[in-house]
């Protein structure tokens, strides 16, 4: 339903700018080509398995925790050094 309304809006907009029939047909042809290209590329995507996804997610969370601790420690050290200097 929503795609129909979007298409109708596009057609109405093109009619308002007095687009030629050839331009309108070429526009819809390019939009259809884009959709076809997206579909073809999505078929080529190598999706991870559930196990790979869980392992990758765990690794990212672990890396973020380690980075958080390191940045926190560096912040405390630099805060103490600045406190001594000032």
- Give how many domains the chain has, as a whole number: 2
pTM beyond 0.85: the answer is no
Q: Is 17 in the same domain as 28?
A: yes
Q: Is 39 in the same domain as 53?
A: no
Q: Is 57 in the same domain as 37?
A: no
Q: Is 17 in the same domain as 40?
A: yes
Token digits of residue 39: 């579909």
pLDDT in single tens digits along all 86 residues of the chain: 677 778 778 777 767 766 577 777 787 888 899 999 999 999 999 989 999 999 999 999 999 999 999 999 999 999 999 999 88
Domain that holds residue 13: 1-45
Q: Is 19 in the same domain as 58?
A: no
Q: Is 15 in the same domain as 35?
A: yes
Distances (CA, A) of 72 to 1, 36, 62: 51, 49, 15
Q: Is 30 in the same domain as 59?
A: no
């Amino acid at each position: 339903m929503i795609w129909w309304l979007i298409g109708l809006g596009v057609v109405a907009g093109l009619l308002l700018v007095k687009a030629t029939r050839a331009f309108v047909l070429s526009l819809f042809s390019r939009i259809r080509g884009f959709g076809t290209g997206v579909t073809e590329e999505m078929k080529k995507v190598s999706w991870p398995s559930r196990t790979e996804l869980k392992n990758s997610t765990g690794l990212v969370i672990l890396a973020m925790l380690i980075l958080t601790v390191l940045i926190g420690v560096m912040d405390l050290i630099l805060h103490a050094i600045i406190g001594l200097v000032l």
